[in-house]
Structure 1
Amino acid sequence: MSVSAELRDRRTALEEEWARWVPGSGGPHGGRPPVRPEVAESWARSLGTVDPLRDSAPVRDGGSVHPRWSGSVLRSPVDALADELHAVADAGFVAAVTDESGTILWTAGGRVMRRRAELVNFAPGGRWDEQAMGTNALSLALRTGRPSTVFSAEHLVAALHGWVCYCAPIHGPDGTVLGVLDLSSTWDRSHPLAMPTVRTLASAIEARLQAGNAERRPGAKETDAVRLTCLGTAGAARGGRPLRLRPRQLEILTLLALHPRGLSPERLRAALYGDRPVTASTFKAEVSHLRRALGGRIASRTYALTAPVACDALDVLRALEAGDTDGAVRRYGGALLPRSDAPGIAARRAHLEVAMRVAVLASDRPEHALRLGELAAPDGP
């Protein structure tokens, strides 16, 4: 079955399930719904306050959000990444940034997609929190503090059934959610690379926020902090700008981040390639490219990072070590570099998965197990 046929079948099934929930029947009747638990729970919360047949998002403050955007801490990092955000949007998406309330402050996209988005008020001033627009990716990301995808009829409002949306929350240096970065397109453009893209861009915004926070501290020097995302997806940013790294270079960066004392050339090579015959020049070329991308932050004799790298896997491990299961579950985005077959990555992936399962099994909060189960399920669009 072609991808488009699979998407069409999925959309049809969701439309049928949506119809069972919405028409004044008070909810579904019989059988387990073919929707994710977080979507079903959001439907149940939203049906009492949101009309599924409304045609667009309500407007906040008369629709003028220019003063809010001008004074937002998100404006500077978003402006710095404008080229990357516009490039992604021009590929058939609408990009949007909201504040912590779910009000859109900024958008980018081609003329056709922006015009479609404006029809449902997916535009500056539009309110997209759950109380205003029911189930959507922005509201879920704001509510959970985690990346979220909502496809077609998973949206509560019927006017959004032609869309697919990918969102990642934007966290401030203190961990609070400052807003959401969203990439939206028509349902037939659903693509597995959209979520890794939005997560990498959100991480780049967070890195710039972190750098700006460091520069504002008394005595702080200018920084171009590096942030690595390796749970569920893979990407890195330096000084808020995404780095163009090949998969092997991301594996090297991940291994060095997880081994702060460094690795000998022999150990790093074995962790990457195992018993496979790879020339020394190939191995050294990968390390050299990564060193240049990081501004020289890899020591030569023992390969080690010579400056801190913010890493989501390290954040999870630190939370687990501190007994903070809720924090670990909130930060855990999925398996460590799930597409990597490097022996060293596979070993650390298994270690982290076991540690997460042990912590969740010991937890008395069922939502921890539900979240881990969602991440272990097959990926959606």
Structure 2
Amino acid sequence: MPEPSDAGPEPAVSAGDDPRRYAQLLSAVYDAAMAGEKMPARPRALIGDSWDRVLDAGVDPDAGAGIPGLDRTGIETGRHESGLDAVLDDLTRGLDSVIADGDNILVVADALGRVLWRSGSTGVLRRADRLGFVEGADWAENSVGTNAIGTALTTGRAVQVFSAEHFVRTHHSWTCAGAPIRDPRTGEMLGVVDVSGPAATIHPTTVALVDAVAKLAESRLRDHHRESLDRLRSVAAPMLARFGGPAVAVDHDGWVAALDDVAPRARVMLPSRAAPGRLWLHGLGECDLEPLPGGWLVRVGTAASSGTRIELDLRDSRTPRLAVSGATGTWALQPSPRHAQILALLAGNPGGYSAAEMSTRLFGVPDRTITVRAEMSRLRKHLGGLLAANPYRFVDGVTVRVHPAASTTTCGADRSGAVGSPTFGT
């Protein structure tokens, strides 16, 4: 992973220079470099280094490497897993002035260079379509050569790429400025924010603005993390007091919100697919995991847990309620009617549902899978440790009891029994 660079963003064209004349020079430099001939000038060190990497990777200057991108399902998954959806509005507001004239597009890519979001006028989006600069496309250096997204990821710094500085010839009519966004907790790369448009729109201050907006997004991510830990702490504190044994409250990534009778630490390393129950954790030993809204209660060195129990009360369809109970206490959540409907469906089928099957159950057609995945993503932010995917289902070891609406004949059923699935509004 590239280390953060102390070098400030370097504009491709200095203030006062003639972009047209510079583009002509770059074209001559590029043609000579690709032909292995003496160049009339040297490219910027940033660009020359990138060309060397791309040539070593075997990228075709006429076509790129043709690496497949993400399909619609992959895009939705990538958006959720990138961690950037929380700051998308901040990125858009910060760069709105650059794309307001309709000549540029705003793009957000993940840590692998795959385009997750883009916005701009219809005209410039159509021009981007012709370059394959679409949602899901791979714009890493080893896929499409030198460009602001891939080169920012490789170098770990904000970059501006102009005209024939792009490695692939079809990109020479464009300019782009991109800046990396890092996880403020770990320093790991989350992705890149990029502004791209026709080469004639280049401005030397754009890369500095994009870099500033990326740093603002990192600051907002830091704020979001602090706020989520505060919310988790408010729920976990009374549970820790009741339990009276060594325990830690952590978010889904293992960051510590509160602890009792445990040596201070900033993070607990959880398995990638943590689930309620007993497991061994480095530095803590044998532990029991119980779900909390927004994280986990980790009970250290306890006897075997009696398991997690869920009560889903649908008797008042306007205000469905959910209560989660464990050995240390109970916490409650008021799900939306749609989420209550989903939970009731899952309670009635321990084997779970695919996204298409869930779409059919919810909407009567199998093709609204994107909506299903978005709803499940929101629901798992509250109940992540209780819900599994592929297929969507409650995790093993969790007991679910449903109190159906009055219109159904069953007053209550556990997840192994027949559960009525009342229909709610969206």
TM-score (normalised: structure 1)? 0.52
Preserved CA contact (<8 Å) 1:141 1:147: yes
In the alignment, which of 36, 50, 70 is matched to residue 61 of structure 1? 70
Q: Which residue of 1 aligns with 2:205?
A: 193
| Residue type at the aligned position of 2:178 | C
Residue 202 of structure 1 and its aligned partner are, at CA, apart by 0.9
Shift of 1:59: 3.4
Aligned AA for 1:127?
D
More displaced, 57-66 or 133-142? 57-66
* Counterpart residue number, 2:357: none
Aligned residue for 1:21? 33
Residues 141-220 of structure 1 mapped to structure 2, 5 A cutoff: 141-173=152-184, 174-217=186-229
Query: What secondary structure is seen at the aligned counterpart in 1 of 2:18?
Result: helix
Measure, in 1, the Cα distance between the counterparts of 2:169 and 2:81.
34
Q: How far apart are the structure 2 equivalents of 1:13 and 1:32?
A: 8
In structure 2, what is the equivalent of residue 35 of structure 1? 43
Q: Is the 8 A contact 1:214 1:221 kept in 2?
A: no
Hey, what does 1:119 align to over in structure 2?
130
Give the aligned partner of residue 108 of structure 1: 119
Judge conservation of contact 1:96–1:182 (CA < 8 Å) in 2.
yes
Q: Note if contact 1:141-1:180 (Cα within 8 Å) is conserved in structure 2.
A: yes
Matched, 1:99 2:110: yes
Distance in 2 (CA, whole Å) between partners of 1:79 and 1:102 is 20
Distance in 2 separating the partners of 1:57 and 1:8: 30
Q: Which residue of 1 aligns with 2:305?
A: none
1:155/1:161 contact within 8 Å kept: yes
Q: Secondary structure at the residue paired with 1:61?
A: coil
1:83-113 CA-partner distances (Å, limit 9, x unpaired): 4444432222111011100101000111111
| C-alpha separation in 2, matches of 1:42 and 1:175 | 23
CA–CA distance in 1 between the matches of 2:121 and 2:233?
39
Distance 2:55 2:120 in 1: 31
Provide the C-alpha distance between the structure 1 equivalents of 2:145 and 2:63, rounded to a whole number of angstroms.
11
In structure 2, what is the Cα distance between the partners aligned to 1:107 and 1:76? 16
Offset of residue 120 of structure 1: 1.1
Alignment of 1:66-105 (within 5 A): 66-91=76-101, 92-105=103-116
- The 1:213/1:52 distance shift into structure 2, 3 A limit, reads same
Mark the CA change 1:114 to 1:31 in structure 2 (over 3 Å): closer, same or farther: closer
SS at match of 1:22: helix
For residue 34 of structure 1, what is the amino acid of its counterpart?
A: R
| Residue number in structure 2 paired with 1:9 | 21
Shift of 1:17: 1.0
How far off is 1:34 after superposition?
A: 2.4
Offset at residue 115 of structure 1 (A): 0.8
Residue aligned with 1:138, SS: helix
Residue deviations 1:265-320 (CA, integer Å, cap 9, x gap)? xxxxxxxxxxxxxxxxxxxxxxxxxxxxxxxxxxxxxxxxxxxxxxxxxxxxxxxx
1:93-145 deviation line (CA, Å, top 9, x unaligned): 11101110010100011111111111112121111111101111111110111
Q: Distance in 2 between matches of 1:89 and 1:211?
A: 27
Q: Which has the higher strand share?
A: 2
Superposed CA RMSD: 2.7
Kindly indicate whether the alpha-carbon contact (under 8 Å) linking 1:56 and 1:159 is maintained by their aligned counterparts in 2: no
- The structure-2 alpha-carbon separation of the partners of 1:78 and 1:160, relative to structure 1 and needing over 3 Å to count, comes to same
Are 1:51 and 2:60 counterparts? yes
Q: Aligned-pair distance for 1:81?
A: 4.3
Q: Which has the higher helix share?
A: 1
Match for 1:52: what amino acid?
P
Structure 2 runs not aligned, ≥5 long: 1-14, 235-426
Q: Larger radius of gyration, structure 1 or 2? A: 2
1: distance between equivalents of 2:119 and 2:216? Answer: 17
In 2, Cα distance between equivalents of 1:57 and 1:15: 23
Contiguous gaps of at least 5 residues in structure 1: 223-381
Q: Which moved more, 1:86-95 or 1:185-194?
A: 86-95
Q: Distance in 2 between matches of 1:216 and 1:30?
A: 57
Deviations 1:297-350 (A, max 9, x none): xxxxxxxxxxxxxxxxxxxxxxxxxxxxxxxxxxxxxxxxxxxxxxxxxxxxxx
Pair 1:123–1:43, CA change in 2 (3 A): same
The aligned length equals: 217
* 8 Å Cα contact 1:98-1:104 kept in structure 2: yes
Structure 2 counterpart of 1:93, one-letter code: N
Query: Residue 56 of structure 1 contacts residue 121 of structure 1 at CA under 8 Å; is this kept in 2?
Result: no
Aligned to 2:332: none
User: Is the partner of 2:117 in helix, strand or coil?
Assistant: strand
Flag the 1:207–1:121 CA change in 2: closer, same or farther, 3 A.
same
Alignment of 1:125-140 (within 5 A): 125-140=136-151
